[in-house]
Structures are given as structure tokens and as C-alpha cells.
Amino acid sequence: MPMLEWNDSLSCHIADIDAQHKSLVDMVNKLHDAMRSGAAESVLFSIIGEMRKYTVEHFDTEEKYMAEYSFQDAAAHKAEHKAFVDKVVEVEEDLKGGKVELSMDILNFLSNWLVTHILDVDVKMGRYLASKGAS
């Protein structure tokens, strides 16, 4: 059973952003499955690295939309993105340095942040973008 399931409540109704969110949900589930199956540390690190890189790409997409459509809350939204990327980089470095082990706490943080950010911030942004003609 997946850790996260995509549903319409997570949709921003902006096709590019929704497709990327679905990919991020899939990555969280991939990491969860790998952890549950006892995958090697190298596999887990690879998935975390993939998530970090994809998250940066995704945030860049959102920020381009915000700039193109003059989204009024862009600065706060970008600040959330930066804080998340900084945290993921910190976790990744701590994992590689042996300071922490990949745990359900870390996975829960990633999944909770993703869902909360989508529901609290991205859906609002999506409504604004749609009102300006984005799809």
C-alpha cells in the first residue's frame, strides 16, 4: 500500500504542476517501498538525491508560473521552497555523513511537508494562476 495517494484535493488544476506533484508523490512512495523492503543504503541515498534534484526542478517551474502571472504571494512561496530545499540538503548530507539514519521520521517529514505545502500553498497559487488563464 502506498504511503501517499494522489487525489483531486491535491490538484492545483495546472497541468504541469499537477504532473510534477504526482511524480513527487510517486518518489515518496518509492522511498517508502525501498525502506520497507530493506533496500541497501545506496539505493535509499539515490532516491533521496533524485527527490532533491526533482524538487528543485519542480520549484523552478512553480516560480516561473508565479513570475509570469505576477502571483502576489510569490516571495513567501519562494521562501518556503528555499527552506524545504535547505532541509532536504541538510538531511541528505547528514545521511551521507552518518550523522543520522534514514527513518520513518524523515520520510514522514518529507511526505507531510509535500502534502501540507500542496494543500495550503500550491492550491491557492493554482486558483490564482487559473483565474489569470493558466492551465
Domain ranges for the chain: 12-131
Backbone torsions φ then ψ of 50, nearest 5 degrees: -65, -45
pLDDT of amino acid 90:
86
Distance CA 93, CA 105 (A): 16
Q: Which three cell numbers stand for residue 122?
A: 500550491
Distance CA 15, CA 132 (A): 15
Q: 0.75 cut: is pTM over it?
A: yes
Fold of 12-131: Four Helix Bundle (Hemerythrin (Met), subunit A) (1.20.120)
pLDDT per residue over 76-124, tens digit each? 999 999 998 988 888 888 888 887 777 788 888 889 999 999 999 999 9
Alpha carbon 14 to chain centroid, angstroms: 16
pLDDT of amino acid 38:
84
pLDDT per residue over 10-43, tens digit each? 999 999 999 999 999 999 999 889 888 888 777 8
Dihedral of alpha carbons 69, 75, 76, 79, sign:
positive
